[in-house]
Chain A
Amino acid sequence: MLPRVLTPLMPFAALLAGWEGYCTVSGVSPLILPPPSGVMRALVLNRVEIGQHALASLRVAVLGFSLSVGFAFATSVALHFAPRAERSLMPLLVASQTVPLVALAPLMILWFGFGLLPKVLLVVLVTFLPMLMSLLSGYRQTPQAFTDLLVAMGAGRWMVFRRATLSSARASFLAGLRISATYAVVATIFAEYAGARAGLGIYILAAKNSFRADLVLAAVLVSTALTLALLGLLRLADRLSARGPGARDDA
């Protein structure tokens, strides 16, 4: 048990030790590269302020991610039942992913202001397609024998979808969720970076402008923790919803 826990932690420990050692030995200025101990100190000292900004980011990320899941699911069902629409819409959807965030984020602020809406929309835009693609790909993985069996039993298209297609797409959907969850926090910070009243993105921008690399890294550390927490929630949802041994996808 212990080695299983320790194995993924060891590279982190080695990285931190190397980083700390380099800062001590090289004499590099903490303004350029603060040691991990300095980052931790900055995090503890500014925990209330960073915590408030982290909560604001978490709210945007969770709201955007949840909306994106719902939107991706509804779209996937519609496209599954209308394959022609999938063929005509897919290029547009893929093109939406090629728009550089760095260009889009300020425009969103310009169009929708400094409130919640532009940031949530940006998170939806970034996380939507991986989930949609994973759902559609999962639907296509439904074994033909399952479909044939249900049709021969007299099931209609909707029942085949409900009883076989949806469950067959579970693993693929969870993989899409994992990818999108990692994008959600990054997209939130990007949106806040372009303009916000609160959030880790705007905090990082302010810290950078004050030459506080330790605070920048402390905020990065918190954003990583938020992403890991989201992934942890997904793993929990996977475990709670899994049916049968071996059904878990370890999201």
Chain B
Amino acid sequence: MLEVGPLTIHAGVGTDASVLVREVSFTMPGSGITALIGPSGCGKTSVLKWLAGLRSKGLRAEGQVLLDGAPLRRPCRALCYQPQGDALFPWLTIAENAALGLEVAGMSRRRAIAQVTPLFAPFGLAGCEAQFPVQLSGGMRQRAAFLRTVAREGRYVLLDEPFSALDAVTRLRMQDWLLARLHERPCGVLLVTHDLHEAARLADRILVMAADPGRIIAEIVVPTPQDQRDEAGMAPLRETLKSLLLEEHPR
């Protein structure tokens, strides 16, 4: 169990300081998807980056993270972060990209590549090992990025709008694919998204954030199993989410 908070993030210093995120607290079980949704600027990405152990310039954060009750120093191997977009290094092959996390952890490149190579087939990337990111489609690049993330074998995965750059069809395919991979290799996922459809389709639990300052205004558990969710059936949930967001931000 991962316990986060209470997290407060200040932006700026001195008299110009403002509160970007105020006392955000939540817990994450060891498996399943927790979606973090909210309007632009509410601090979703800042929360995710702080959780990943990243210090953003001009931001000051206070809060703590407990893993199984013990304080967690970050960055750490237990939390695997995937930034917005795929962030694949264009000068590395897909195999080298996938092995990057293991290499950073101290493994030799050859051993790291040998360790990630068996994952290529289940990730639908067999034969792509020696290719470069620019040679792959958007969906394949996302799969490669996710392979790189899970290859580190962390207990939690932090995804920052992983499918936002994809076209609608590829996005739907990638969402199905993500669910299948998580079914095979369960881990706790924190998914930052602004897409209500995506949140309603994937998440077991949805944390709704409001802005000015960023805070969690609702936590909604989605009891319907993912394989039984359809557009019409999830419409009431989307409406609830929409009204929550609009109530807080009536223009």
**Chain A residues at the B interface, C-beta cutoff of 8 Å:** 143-146, 148-155, 159, 163-164, 167, 170, 243-247
Within 8 A of A (CB), among B88-104: 89-93, 100-101, 104
Q: Quote the shortest CB–CB distance from A17 to chain B (angstroms).
A: 44
**Residues on A with beta carbons closer than 8 Å to the beta carbon of B104:** 150, 153-155, 159, 163
Closest B residue to A242 by beta carbon equals B91
B132's partner among A143, A159, A245 (CB-CB below 8 A) is A245
Contact call B81/A149, Cβ cutoff below 8 A: yes
Q: Quote the shortest CB–CB distance from A124 to chain B (angstroms).
A: 29
| C-alpha spacing A102/B104, complex, angstroms | 51
Closest B residue to A246 by beta carbon equals B134
Contact call A145/B87, Cβ cutoff below 8 A: yes
Contact call A145/B83, Cβ cutoff below 8 A: yes
Q: Quote the shortest CB–CB distance from B191 to chain A (angstroms).
A: 16
Q: Is B115 an interface residue (CB 8 A)?
A: no
**Residues on A with beta carbons closer than 8 Å to the beta carbon of B79:** 152
Contact call A154/B49, Cβ cutoff below 8 A: no
Within 8 A of A (CB), among B64-123: 75-77, 79-85, 87, 89-93, 100-101, 104-105
Q: Is B240 an interface residue (CB 8 A)?
A: no
Q: Is B124 an interface residue (CB 8 A)?
A: no
Q: Is B152 an interface residue (CB 8 A)?
A: yes
Contact call A247/B91, Cβ cutoff below 8 A: yes
- A148/B81 contact (C-beta < 8 A), A153-B104, A154-B104 known: yes
18 contacting pairs across A/B (C-beta < 8 A): A148-B87, A149-B81, A149-B83, A149-B100, A152-B52, A152-B81, A152-B83, A153-B75, A153-B81, A153-B101, A154-B76, A154-B104, A163-B104, A164-B89, A243-B91, A243-B92, A244-B92, A247-B90
| C-alpha spacing A158/B89, complex, angstroms | 17
Known pairs A153-B81, A154-B104, A244-B90 / 14 extra A-B pairs, C-beta < 8 Å = A143-B87, A148-B52, A149-B81, A152-B52, A152-B53, A152-B75, A152-B81, A154-B76, A154-B77, A163-B100, A170-B91, A243-B91, A243-B132, A245-B132
Q: Is B18 an interface residue (CB 8 A)?
A: no
B152's partner among A144, A148, A153 (CB-CB below 8 A) is A153
Q: Quote the shortest CB–CB distance from B190 to chain A (angstroms).
A: 13
| C-alpha spacing A151/B76, complex, angstroms | 10
Q: Say whether chain B's binding surface is mostly helix, strand, loop, or mixed.
A: loop
Enumerate the 7 nearest inter-chain pairs by beta-carbon distance, A residue then B residue, closest first. Answer: A244-B132, A152-B81, A145-B83, A145-B87, A152-B52, A153-B104, A243-B91
Closest B residue to A154 by beta carbon equals B75
**Residues on A with beta carbons closer than 8 Å to the beta carbon of B40:** none
- A148/B92 contact (C-beta < 8 A), A143-B87, A159-B104, A245-B134 known: no
**Residues on B with beta carbons closer than 8 Å to the beta carbon of A154:** 75-77, 104-105
Q: Is B226 an interface residue (CB 8 A)?
A: no
Q: Quote the shortest CB–CB distance from B90 to chain A (angstroms).
A: 6
Contact call B91/A167, Cβ cutoff below 8 A: yes
**Residues on B with beta carbons closer than 8 Å to the beta carbon of A159:** 104
Q: Which size class do B's interface residues fall under?
A: 20 to 34
Q: Quote the shortest CB–CB distance from B31 to chain A (angstroms).
A: 21
Q: Say whether chain A's binding surface is mostly helix, strand, loop, or mixed.
A: helix
B87's partner among A146, A244, A246, A247 (CB-CB below 8 A) is A146
Contact call A244/B91, Cβ cutoff below 8 A: yes
| C-alpha spacing A154/B81, complex, angstroms | 11
**Residues on A with beta carbons closer than 8 Å to the beta carbon of B100:** 149-150, 153, 163
A167's partner among B49, B89, B93 (CB-CB below 8 A) is B89
Q: Is B135 an interface residue (CB 8 A)?
A: yes
Closest B residue to A167 by beta carbon equals B91
Q: Quote the shortest CB–CB distance from A241 to chain B (angstroms).
A: 10
Q: Quote the shortest CB–CB distance from B20 to chain A (angstroms).
A: 17
Q: Is B221 an interface residue (CB 8 A)?
A: no
Q: Quote the shortest CB–CB distance from B233 to chain A (angstroms).
A: 35
Q: Quote the shortest CB–CB distance from A165 to chain B (angstroms).
A: 11
Q: Quote the shortest CB–CB distance from B130 to chain A (angstroms).
A: 11
Q: Quote the shortest CB–CB distance from B96 to chain A (angstroms).
A: 9
Q: Quote the shortest CB–CB distance from A41 to chain B (angstroms).
A: 49
| C-alpha spacing A59/B170, complex, angstroms | 57
Q: Is B218 an interface residue (CB 8 A)?
A: no
Closest A residue to B96 by beta carbon equals A243
Q: Is B54 an interface residue (CB 8 A)?
A: yes
Closest A residue to B103 by beta carbon equals A163
**Residues on A with beta carbons closer than 8 Å to the beta carbon of B81:** 148-149, 152-153
| C-alpha spacing A143/B91, complex, angstroms | 13
Contact call A145/B101, Cβ cutoff below 8 A: no
A148's partner among B49, B90, B101 (CB-CB below 8 A) is B49
